[in-house]
């Protein structure tokens, strides 16, 4: 009787395992319609294949850096609408600017905007883009090295192609304003090492390592930090606010790997042509305040006219263009696609 009981149990166990295996196989099969040969089933399988072969934002950025024929011009966005406009105008890449996001929240760029507010903006920006990739300003990483890893994960999950981590003391501030200070070289390297570890542990994102040491520690230290960042695994470096063309050239000459430059009118760094920047060896040229500043100037003009009883029609987009920019055209296409 005992043997019969054991045999029955074994049969039951084998049957259960067979059921589990059948379910596992069913889950692993691609979804398809009842008629696998139908057009609907074919489209479903093709869409699944396309999704598997679509490159990630980080992969697209790496490809841009490897295959670029010239310097990459990078207008900086501060919300989903400005990011969409950058894409609409034919640029290949944009950057989520901390200065702009802070301004949109009503604050100066002094780290008054939280990690969560920044990563929420990152989700909106990446969700608005269809073709181009975006680099996100990760400030100081919002804490110690462990916090840096969490910040990197959050930006990667939002869809950012890269995250910028810098070596300022928190709360940080705009690199072209007074009152900056930086952490020790050892702590700065630890931040970048933690960011690279987060990347290497499975987050598909590039690491842009920034130093603000030029303003407080001098050019030698700033260059030394950038070299150390590359050794720690950074994909791109950024020496903020060099004071002359000679300093810019030395940075490009002595630090390996792709390099970013910031073009800020009335800032500390000379404003140079894209051709000159490319000649020096820069891979990316960021324009952090162009959209914010130009937008504010246009809005001030419109408000001045309204206040003075004048019309603003010549300053405005026509309504059809405005609807297209904000997404009505795409919405209507999707709406028509699912009409019953």
148-194 tens-digit pLDDT? 999 999 999 999 999 999 999 887 777 676 778 999 999 999 999 99
**Count of beta carbons in the 10 Å neighbourhood of residue 187:** 13
Q: How far is CA 104 from the centre of its chain?
A: 18
The length of the chain is 340
Mean pLDDT, the chain, rounded, equals 87
Cis before residue 171, ω within 30 degrees of 0?
yes
Q: Average pLDDT, stretch 20-30? A: 39
State phi, psi for 113 to the nearest 5 degrees.
Answer: -95, 135
Euclidean distance between CA atoms 148 and 197, whole angstroms: 10
Alpha-carbon distance values, 49 to 10, 32, 188, 200 (Å): 41, 13, 42, 26
Is-contact 244 269, C-beta < 8 A? no
Pairing of strands 284-287, 259-262: parallel
Angle made by CA atoms 122, 248, 97, in degrees to the nearest 5: 15
Query: 145 versus 48: which is more confidently predicted?
Result: 145
Euclidean distance between CA atoms 238 and 262, whole angstroms: 8
Quickly state the pLDDT bin for 41 (edges 50, 70, 90): low
Which pLDDT score is estimated for 8?
Answer: 46
Q: Where in the chain is the domain with CATH 3.20.20.60?
A: 54-296
Angle made by CA atoms 269, 93, 279, in degrees to the nearest 5: 45
Which pLDDT score is estimated for 1?
Answer: 45
Place of tokens 């609409």: 88
Which pLDDT score is estimated for 5?
Answer: 44
Q: pTM of this prediction?
A: 0.83
Q: Average pLDDT, stretch 120-137? A: 97
Q: What residues have CB less than 8 Å from 99, skipping those under 6 apart?
A: 78, 109, 174, 288, 289, 292
Angle made by CA atoms 251, 256, 258, in degrees to the nearest 5: 90
Euclidean distance between CA atoms 313 and 306, whole angstroms: 11
Choices 3.40.1280.10, 3.20.20.60, 3.40.50.720, 3.40.50.450: CATH for 54-296: 3.20.20.60
């Amino acid at each position: 009787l005992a043997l019969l009981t054991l045999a029955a149990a074994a049969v039951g166990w084998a049957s259960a395992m067979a059921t589990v295996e059948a379910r596992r196989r069913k889950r692993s099969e691609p979804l398809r319609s009842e008629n696998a040969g139908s057009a609907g089933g074919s489209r479903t399988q093709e869409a699944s294949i396309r999704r598997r072969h679509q490159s990630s934002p980080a992969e697209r950025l790496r490809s841009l850096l490897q295959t670029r024929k010239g310097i990459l011009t990078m207008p900086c966005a501060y919300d989903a609408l400005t990011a969409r406009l950058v894409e609409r105008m034919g640029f290949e890449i944009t950057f989520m600017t901390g200065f702009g996001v802070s301004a949109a929240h009503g604050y100066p760029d002094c780290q008054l905007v939280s990690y969560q507010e920044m990563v929420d903006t990152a989700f909106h920006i990446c969700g608005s883009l269809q073709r181009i990739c975006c680099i996100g300003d990760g400030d100081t990483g919002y804490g110690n090295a462990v916090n840096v890893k969490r910040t990197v994960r959050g930006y990667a999950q939002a869809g950012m192609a890269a995250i910028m981590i810098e070596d300022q003391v928190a709360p940080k501030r705009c690199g072209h304003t007074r009152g900056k200070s930086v952490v020790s070289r050892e702590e700065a390297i630890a931040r970048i090492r933690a960011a690279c570890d987060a990347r290497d542990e499975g987050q598909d994102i590039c690491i842009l390592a920034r130093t603000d040491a030029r303003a407080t520690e001098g050019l030698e230290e700033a260059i030394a930090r950038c070299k150390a960042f590359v050794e720690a695994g950074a994909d791109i470096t950024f020496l903020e606010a060099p004071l002359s063309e000679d300093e810019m050239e030395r940075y490009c000459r002595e630090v390996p790997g792709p390099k970013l430059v910031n073009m800020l009118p009335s800032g500390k760094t000379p404003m140079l042509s894209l051709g000159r920047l490319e000649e020096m060896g820069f891979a990316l040229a960021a324009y952090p305040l162009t959209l914010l500043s130009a937008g504010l100037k246009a809005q001030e003009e419109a408000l001045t006219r309204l206040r003075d009883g004048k019309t603003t029609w010549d300053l405005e987009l026509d309504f059809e263009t405005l609807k297209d920019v904000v997404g009505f055209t795409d919405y209507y296409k999707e709406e028509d696609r699912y009409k019953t």
